Amino acid sequence: MGKKKNEPEENNHGGEPRDGEIVVRLVIPEELSFLFSEEVMGHLLSAKKELLLAFRGIIDHKLRLLEKKKVNKVKTVRVHVE
């Protein structure tokens, strides 16, 4: 039995997000840009930039946490030399 026509693929994000997963799509097709004024397009592009900056902030924060965790795992050992 194959997958049903409307059933999402296993790696397709068309379905519900999985645990711990955030799925965001912001698509502004170039061919539909004529529907929006320059001002609206500017706002949409600014919103897209802000979203990307927010994700970069999340990624940077997670990287700092991982580095901190890595540093905390390093143990110092004193060796007494006579």
pLDDT tens sequence across 10-20:
555 566 778 87
Environment class of residue 41 by beta-carbon count within 10 Å: exposed (0-12), middle (13-18) or buried (19+)? middle
Q: What is the pTM for the complete model shown?
A: 0.51
Identify the pLDDT of residue 1.
47
Return per-residue pLDDT of the chain as tens, 82 residues: 455 555 555 555 566 778 877 777 767 778 888 888 999 889 988 988 998 999 999 999 999 999 888 877 766 778 888 8
Is residue 52 within 8 A of residue 42, CB to CB? The reply is no
DSSP structural state of residue 8: P
Environment class of residue 27 by beta-carbon count within 10 Å: exposed (0-12), middle (13-18) or buried (19+)? exposed
Q: Please list the helix, strand and coil fractions of the chain in percent, rounded to the nearest 5, in that order.
A: 50, 0, 50
